[in-house]
Amino acid sequence: MGALVAAMRSERHRHAVSQDFYRDLSTGQSPDVVVICCSDSRAAPEHIMRADPGVLFVERSVAGLVPPPPGAVERAWLRAYGAATRVFGLRQLAGAWYGAWAAIEYPVMHLQVSNILVLGHSGCGGIALACRRRGEQAALHDTDCWVDMVRPALRPVLRQHPAETAPRAAEEAAVLWSRGNLLKHAGIARRVREGLTSLHAAHYDIASGEVAFYDETSGEFVGLSSEG
């Protein structure tokens, strides 16, 4: 922690020599991209994209999952089960989902950010957990509950891939599943239809530094280095 405190001291110095930049920044934000990614210490989007403060609005969670919008889920439950939904406290149960969505809805709908990037990464522990059966890791009960939402989307991928390629395939599938859930939010879907917001999906390889973006035409993730 000592080294980090020293870094914070030198950051104060950087503030002092870049006063105009930070004074402008203090008056408001207008980020270019909402990045949804994993909490993993090795996959920091500001580092991967060399982005200054104010450029990225970041929502991080284990595995960087975008749950189905809780509002839509709750309305479906209300239609199906009526008041019982309230009795069982679905809103409280969905708290984590609301938390993730608040950090997506706010920048897209309020700050009107025009790009959303869902960014997966290699060696993702959250996705590795999701590839196992629920309950196998008793010490990770809460994490297990969180990643459980993506398990149904990963099952067919795991059936199709051998052990060597399964982790990468599952990481990419989770990114696309999250991207699909963004379109279940009525406001975001409308902004995408009207061309006001674009959705992007990518995978970052920690060892090589390669970032591969999902190409809708080919249906594959294409590395930036292969584009020349």
Q: Does residue 62 contact residue 126 with C-beta atoms inside 8 Å?
A: yes
Q: Which long-range contacts (CB under 8 A, 24 or more apart) does 109-114 make?
A: 109/187, 109/188, 109/191, 111/29, 111/30, 111/31, 111/57, 112/196, 113/31, 113/32, 113/33, 113/34, 113/57, 113/197, 114/32, 114/196, 114/197, 114/198
Is 38 one of the binding residues for Zn ion (CB under 5 A)?
A: yes
Distance CA 40, CA 7 (A): 21
**Shortest reach from residue 90's CB to Zn ion, in Å:** 28
For Zn ion, which stretch binds (CB under 5 A), given 33-41, 95-103, 148-156, 182-190?
A: 33-41
Nearest to 40 by CA among 119, 98, 140: 119
Report, in Å, the least distance between residue 22 CB and Zn ion. Answer: 31
Nearer to Zn ion, 69 or 126 (CB): 126
Question: Could you tell me the smallest distance in angstroms from the CB atom of residue 196 to Zn ion?
Answer: 30
Per-residue binding string, Zn ion, 111-140, x by CB under 5 A, is: -------------x-x--------------
**Does residue number 40 form part of the binding site for Zn ion (CB under 5 A)?**
yes
**Part of the chain binding Zn ion (CB under 5 A), chosen from 31-39, 69-77, 84-92, 95-103:** 31-39
Contact between 74 and Zn ion (CB under 5 A)? Answer: no
Where are the extended beta strands (E) located within the chain?
Answer: 33-38, 56-61, 115-121, 198-204, 211-215, 220-223
Stretch of 38-46, 67-75, 100-108, 153-161 contacting Zn ion, by CB under 5 A: 38-46
The size of the interface with Zn ion (CB under 5 A), counted in residues, is 4
H or E element, residue 5: helix 2-17
Rounded least distance, CB 205 to Zn ion, Å? 13
51 or 206: whose CB is closer to Zn ion?
206
Rounded Cα–Cα distance for residues 216 and 200 (Å): 10
Q: Supply the minimum distance, in Å, between the C-beta of residue 87 and Zn ion.
A: 36
| CA distance linking residue 168 with residue 161, whole number of Å | 10
- C-beta of 62 vs 116, nearer to Zn ion: 62
Q: Footprint of Zn ion on this chain (CB under 5 A)?
A: 38, 40, 124, 126
